[in-house]
Structure 1
């Protein structure tokens, strides 16, 4: 069964430490990635799709969609499934440098903060993870904060 290959690990709010860090291997962004993303989103702007026009622009070549890099980066950081946490959203997303066809990106995710849930602090907490995307030259292309809503120990465990 497909579920047999999923690695789950229970990590409660109390188990997660500020400063924890993980890094991914690289992933090369291809023309197929850009074309598929354009089709999925309807974003066919010439910045992504028109090589001839982009050759006349300052970037000089097609640029991957920022939302594509966001999606790929978040997917690259997805590893073990933690049934005690769920994504709550993304804050402070910044597209700092363009990613081009053929660029290889790597992602670093670091826990930078933990805060109690305002209305139910005995049950939940928020974990803030700084996600940084760099290209093959070590240049930062994108940063964001990924927020997780995490169960506190004793909030429902048997």
Structure 2
């Protein structure tokens, strides 16, 4: 879906929320294969049974990838992602946990070099099925101004 929004159209406090997605063993195995991260925390159930959490945990980068993907329901041709800041993996996510995401516009400011664009920050929070925050970051957008000034 295409949703055209200019910088002026973004409202601080506007929030989008996703439905849930359950993290599976297959998710973890595929992510390990794609990234080369085969650390025992993710892959070795017997070793994990001797550790603090007693079970395998999902890669933080997996939760980041899936969480951001869950928010990508529309395309805004007036905006471009410039990256992510303040990425934190707050709690572990286990096989069978269901995550959901909240994305809230938290800040708008002038672009430091391009008067035709502004910067929009979106606070991303990923929650598990117990409403505990498991990951958080800021998504940075560069957004075209309607006036082009």
Q: Tell me the TM-score range normalised by the shorter chain.
A: over 0.9
User: What's the TM-score once normalised by structure 1's chain length?
Assistant: 0.92
Structure 2: distance between partners of 1:79 and 1:86? 14
Structure 2: distance between partners of 1:143 and 1:44? 24
| C-alpha RMSD over aligned residues | 1.1
1:120 CA drift (Å): 1.4
Alignment of 1:38-117 (within 5 A): 38-117=32-111
- Gaps of at least 5 residues in structure 1 are 1-6
User: What's the TM-score once normalised by structure 2's chain length?
Assistant: 0.98
Superposed CA deviations along residues 13-60 of structure 1, whole A, max 9, x for unmatched, are: 001110100100000000000000000000000000000000000011
What is the SS of the residue equivalent to 2:80? strand
User: Aligned residue for 1:4?
Assistant: none
- Gaps of at least 5 residues in structure 2 are none
Structure 1: distance between partners of 2:4 and 2:132? 34
Structure 2: distance between partners of 1:44 and 1:31? 13
